[in-house]
Amino acid sequence: MSKTNDSQAPRTRKPGNRNGLADFKSDIHALFDDRSMNLLVTVFVIVAAVLFIALPDFRTAANFNSMALQISDLGIMALAMTVSMIAAGIDLSVVAVANLSGIIGIQVMTSMGGVDSSPTAALFGVLVMLATGTLLGLINGMLVGLLRIPPILATLATMTLWGGVGTAATNGVSISGASRSLTDLGNIAIFSIPVPTLVFILAVILVWLFLAHTSTGVKTYLYGSNAKASLFSGVNNATLMIKVYTFCGLLSSLAGVVILMRTLSASPTYGSSYVLLAILVAVLGGVSVTGGSGRVTGVVVSLITLQMLSTGFNMLLVGHGNSNFFKSFAWGLFLLLIVWLGYMQDHGFGFKPHRGTSTNTAGIAAKKPTAPATPTSHAKAG
Amino acid sequence: MRTIQQRFKRTARTQEAILLLVIAIVVTLLTAANPSFMTISNIFDILRIMTVSGMMALSCLLIMISGGVDVSFPAVADAAAFAGATILLQAHFNGSGLVLFLTAIPLGMLMGAINGFFVGWFRIPTMIVTLGTQSLFYGASLYFLGGVSIFELPQGTKDLAQKALITVDSGSGTSSLGPLFLVLVIMAIGVSLLLHRTSFGRSIYALGGNEMVVERSGINIRLRYLCLYSLAGAISAIAGAANATIYRNANPVGLQGQEMGIIAAVVLGGALITGGKGSVTGTLLGVLLIAIIQNSLVLVGIPSTWQNVVIGIVLAAGIAIPAVRHLIDARNKTEVLI
């Protein structure tokens, strides 16, 4: 087996068998081959440049600090959404899981001494929150994997249910009482990066490792692009779905921890627009809406772009009506624009009828004109 | 004899029959717990709650049968009614209550057509498109038209709100049911006829079953999607105008956040979220069950904060039970499950 693998080494590179500079070059090349990524980076650079030049308030350290804080909780939820969308599903319950685990965490910390409780109590509370998220994710995973309920439906039900449990537990109001040793972390910066942002960076690394460096991650991509092929190549789809949604639940509860750090409270109705925003971030970041493709880099770039736009709107629209309403309008427009551009990239700028569901294959074929020559040369040699 | 038995078995296993049974049990329990549940005024209250959500559910059902999950119908309803009321206010119109509906419907159709355009032309999943347009419609109506409810509705609208279709004189006073419930009944019959008696309706089921086959059979599916989503938009707009009429103000976010409850009702009613299956009867029964839960939990001493827990449990059960049944059926046939 290993011999056949070695003979294919130039094509299927293994992580342990890297070829230094050549691999690095091909990595860079692969990065620029991704056309949706190129579009995204272009948008990012333009938005950043315009805001830098036009708004003096934008290029202050205080603003960057506040932007870094603001992306942290939405960012982690967007990562959870990304993972579920790569698996050709969707996790609508991310916000509900984050809020419910926050509520449970606060109740645990309150019972252990409230605001003045010890760091141990805070740590225990955080662990309980993460365990809650994992358990709720596991329930999603079992509904999707074992009962074969479409993810959108399963997570719709759990979203309603956990939202309802949160409302029932708090009477619908926001509760506080999280340990100060946890909430103080929200104001601390390490190497001038706020701690919530560090948690987000940790989540980014975690998701990147999961997707790119574990066999479960690779199987997730396979399942997302073709569940039947995944089954027939020996993947246990049910177990895979349980793993994927459990991971999403864990990430959601991590977002709940960050919300606690930032807002010092938990509420069953916090961040109700975050489901849309998380999907927007993922789609804008190049995650395919039909599953099977998407990468963490794109999601991070799209998250920062959206946050810059949001901050820019806030600064520009002072005194011109409610900027939140305008943002809602702009996000909707942005999402439609991005999916339209993505479609146009795949199908060409025209209104010809198209059949079937083609993805990026057209783009890859255009980039490598030498590819069709290889089979012929093989045939001649044979 | 056997055929009758078989037919009975088949009917008894449909989602509608199960739902009817569940509603009967819930109603019996509620009446046993609190006799005031079965009073005519409470029943009218439930039907009033049902009016607007039933109309939105019809819109949601049409899209779901075609294989999409629409989350923008509350936004379409609110934006159409709010923009319509704004136009009437600007024009100082003070006539018939029907005009609000007639202004809202084209606006709703336009918004539906935007959804349909993106779904039909770009083959983007409905859920993604409508998440975007929901945000777009709410944002546009709030930012460009101002976020303040309009209470100065035309005189005709105010009159319509006070009209009664049926008035029943019970001991403690009169309770009445407005004419808009009749509109829901007419719309339900209309949608049912459309789905089962027209080729357009059959093609909606076909789109949800297998889009490719519909295309190969020579139907212009882009146009079908455009028409279907425009129709759904028009129905949502009627729901929005009805909501404004019943509550006597055009609130730009009056129905916000109701989409999940309505989708839950439609799914409970037996519609497949992946498309190709769904009925008007089932949908209305689903809406009725949710309306009973929303209206009556307080009557039996369950705090209103528990409402979503109960709805969530009902929804989870309504999804999980057919899924388990399907799984067992499939296992008996030793099918390969994908």
SS3 annotation, A113-155: CHHHCCHHHHHHHHHHHHHHHHHHHHHHHHHHHCCCCCHHHHH
- For an interface test with A, the pick among B63, B124, B137, B262 (most A C-beta atoms closer than 10 Å) comes out as B124
Query: In this predicted model, what pLDDT tens digit does every residue of A288-315 receive, in sequence order?
Result: 878 888 889 889 998 998 888 888 888 8
Among B296, B13, B234, residue whose Cα is nearest residue B109: B234
Nearest to A326 among B131, B139, B267 (CB): B139
Q: Which residues of chain A have a CB within 8 Å of the CB of B142?
A: 322, 325, 328-329
> Please, how many CA atoms are within 13 Å of residue A257, restricted to the half-sphere of its CB?
29
Give A150 to chain B, closest Cα distance, Å: 8
Type and span of the H or E element at A189: strand A189-190
Among A327, A291, A287, residue whose Cα is nearest residue A310: A327
CATH number at residue A295: 1.10.3470.10
- Residues ≥6 apart with Cβ < 8 Å to A11: none
Residues B199, B181: Cα–Cα separation, whole Å: 28
Nearest to B260 among A148, A159, A343 (CB): A159
**pLDDT surpasses 70 at B103:** yes
φ, ψ for residue A196, nearest 5 deg: -55, -35
Q: Which residues of chain B have a CB within 8 Å of the CB of A172?
A: 305
Radius of gyration of chain A (CA): 23
Residues B130, A34: Cα–Cα separation, whole Å: 27
B306: nearest CA partner in chain A: A168
Q: Decide if A120 is inside a domain.
A: yes
Q: Which residues of chain A have a CB within 8 Å of the CB of B257?
A: 272
Residues A339, A77: Cα–Cα separation, whole Å: 20
Type and span of the H or E element at B176: strand B173-177
Average pLDDT over residues A247-261: 92
Domain count, chain A: 1
Bridge partners of residue A102, in order along the sequence: none
Q: What confidence tier does B8 reach under pLDDT thresholds 50, 70, 90?
A: low
pLDDT score, position B13: 66
β pairing state of B173-177 and B166-170: antiparallel
Q: Decide if A111 is inside a domain.
A: yes
CA dihedral A229, A232, A235, A241 (to 10 degrees): 60
Query: In this predicted model, what pLDDT tens digit does every residue of A129-162 receive, in sequence order?
Result: 999 999 999 999 999 988 888 888 889 889 888 9
Interface of A with B in 281-320 (CB under 8 A): 283, 289-290
pLDDT score, position B123: 82
Q: Which residues of chain A have a CB within 8 Å of the CB of B131?
A: 275-276, 279-280, 335
Token pair belonging to A266: 């938990």
Q: Which domain holds residue A181?
A: 34-348
Query: In this predicted model, what pLDDT tens digit does every residue of B28-60 receive, in sequence order?
Result: 888 888 888 888 888 888 888 899 999 999 999
Among B57, B70, B78, residue whose Cα is nearest residue B130: B70
Mean pLDDT of chain A: 78
Q: Which residues of chain B have a CB within 8 Å of the CB of A351?
A: 121
Q: Decide if A171 is inside a domain.
A: yes
> Please, how many CA atoms are within 13 Å of residue B97, restricted to the half-sphere of its CB?
20
Is B325 exposed, middle or buried (CB count within 10 Å of its CB: 0-12, 13-18, 19+)? exposed
pLDDT score, position A98: 93
Of the listed ranges A247-251, A349-353, B225-229, B271-275, the least confidently predicted one is A349-353
Q: What confidence tier does A317 reach under pLDDT thresholds 50, 70, 90?
A: confident
Q: Decide if A356 is inside a domain.
A: no
- Asked if B132 and A164 come within 8 Å (Cβ–Cβ), the reply is no
Q: Decide if A377 is inside a domain.
A: no
Residues A295, A327: Cα–Cα separation, whole Å: 26
pLDDT score, position B32: 87
Nearest to A168 among B142, B309, B336 (CB): B309
Quickly count: other Cβ atoms within 10 Å of residue A333's Cβ: 16
**pLDDT surpasses 50 at A380:** no
**pLDDT surpasses 50 at A360:** no
Helix B180-197 and helix B40-65, axial crossing angle in degrees, nearest 10? 30
φ, ψ for residue B250, nearest 5 deg: -95, 100
Q: If DSSP codes are grouped into helix, strand and coil, which group holds residue A299?
A: helix
Bridge partners of residue A194, in order along the sequence: A189
- Asked if B136 and A158 come within 8 Å (Cβ–Cβ), the reply is no
**pLDDT surpasses 60 at A1:** no
A92: nearest CA partner in chain B: B260
φ, ψ for residue B176, nearest 5 deg: -135, 160
A358: nearest CA partner in chain B: B123
Among A241, A43, A37, A53, residue whose Cα is nearest residue A154: A241
Residues A220, A215: Cα–Cα separation, whole Å: 8
The DSSP code for A265 is: E
Contacts of B276-281 with CB under 8 Å at 24 or more apart are B276/B65, B276/B67, B276/B205, B276/B206, B276/B208, B276/B209, B276/B210, B277/B65, B277/B205, B277/B208, B278/B61, B278/B64, B278/B65, B279/B16, B279/B192, B280/B58, B280/B61, B280/B188, B280/B191, B280/B192, B280/B195, B281/B16, B281/B192
A162: nearest CA partner in chain B: B309
Residues B302, B25: Cα–Cα separation, whole Å: 17
Q: Decide if A365 is inside a domain.
A: no
Nearest to A328 among B135, B307, B312 (CB): B135
Residues B211, A332: Cα–Cα separation, whole Å: 27
ipTM higher than threshold 0.90: no
Give B53 to chain A, closest Cα distance, Å: 17
Type and span of the H or E element at B175: strand B173-177
Give B225 to chain A, closest Cα distance, Å: 15
**Amino acid of residue B27:** V
pLDDT score, position A35: 64
- Residues ≥6 apart with Cβ < 8 Å to A221: A86, A211, A292, A293
Token pair belonging to A139: 């329930």
- Tokens 């039970």 appear where? B321
Among B178, B187, B279, B185, residue whose Cα is nearest residue B235: B187
For residues A143 and A256, is the Cβ–Cβ distance under 8 A? Answer: no
pLDDT score, position A319: 67
pLDDT score, position A183: 77
Residues A248, A254: Cα–Cα separation, whole Å: 10
Q: Could you tell me if A340 lies within 8 Å of chain B, comparing CB atoms?
A: yes
Among A40, A16, A355, residue whose Cα is nearest residue A213: A16
Type and span of the H or E element at A176: strand A175-176
φ, ψ for residue B258, nearest 5 deg: -90, -10
**pLDDT surpasses 90 at A345:** no
B321: nearest CA partner in chain A: A147
For residues A145 and A88, is the Cβ–Cβ distance under 8 A? Answer: no
B/e letters for B186-210, b = 16+ CB within 10 Å, e = fewer, are: ebbeebbebbeeeeebebbbbbbbe
